Amino acid sequence: MGNDEREQTINQLLTEMDGFENNAGIIVLAATNIPEVLDKALLRPGRFDRQIQVGLPDSKGRETILKVHCRDKKLAPDVTLKDIAKRCLGMSGADLANVMNESAIFSARGKKTEIGMQDIYDAIDRIQIGMEKKGAVFSDERQKLVSYHEAGHAILGAVMPEYDLVSAITIVPRGGAGGVTIFTPDEETMESGMYSK
């Protein structure tokens, strides 16, 4: 963003890359999650002139990534990585690592010897929705209104077969929400972004 350190880094990269001949047999690889801020000089022919977009993993990919992040964790027999992968739609590998680390923390806080499915779902909720507001006191009237509101989301989800499936409902306040109805989109619909209604 124009600071000296960034300019020095780019200049050094360009200097080093200019030293390579076309037949040197050396390929320089780099990765970024913000390609729009790269200096155009880095993207000229002969430098970083090929771009490969690596998208977010699909359900099968997420399941494989979860297996990697579960290797050193003891999981309860009820844990099904396939179900977890479906619930983690749109998450990157780093997000999935975070889910497993958070679930291990939930498990440890509960003084358990293994991570259960509920620990993992709690971790997903914490990451996607926010922390549960513990100790907050709400009136019965407020909780009743939140219940009606979330039930309305769930009923509409149930009567509209074209829409996403309802996977969870809570009236426990999390983050900035008084309650949440969680919909799990179909993988193909989510990736294409093409809802018919």
Among 66, 64, 62, smallest CA distance to 100 is for: 66
Answer whether residue 53 is part of any domain: no
Instruction: Tell me which of 159 and 191 has the higher pLDDT.
Output: 159
Measured CA to CA in angstroms, residue 184 lies from 16, 53, 116 at distances of 48, 25, 21
pLDDT of residue 109: 92
Domain total in the chain: 3
Same domain, 37 and 88: no
Tokens of 123: 């971790």
How many Cα atoms are found within 13 Å in the side-chain-facing hemisphere of 41?
10
Answer whether residue 52 is part of any domain: no
**Residue bearing tokens 């590998």:** 93
> Tens digit of pLDDT for each residue in 34-55?
778 777 877 877 777 788 888 8
Q: Residue 4: is it exposed, middle or buried by C-beta count within 10 angstroms (0-12/13-18/19+)? A: exposed
Annotated catalytic residue: which of 5, 114, 150, 162?
150
Of 82, 98, 128, which residue is a domain's last?
Answer: 128
Answer whether residue 54 is part of any domain: no
Annotated active-site residue 150? The verdict is: yes
Measured CA to CA in angstroms, residue 194 lies from 81, 117, 189, 191 at distances of 27, 31, 6, 8
Confidence band of 193 (pLDDT split at 50, 70, 90): low
> Tens digit of pLDDT for each residue in 69-104?
999 999 999 999 999 998 888 899 999 999 999 999
Among 79, 97, 170, smallest CA distance to 129 is for: 170
Find out whether 78 and 107 touch, Cβ atoms under 8 Å. Answer: no
pLDDT of residue 3: 62
Answer whether residue 94 is part of any domain: yes
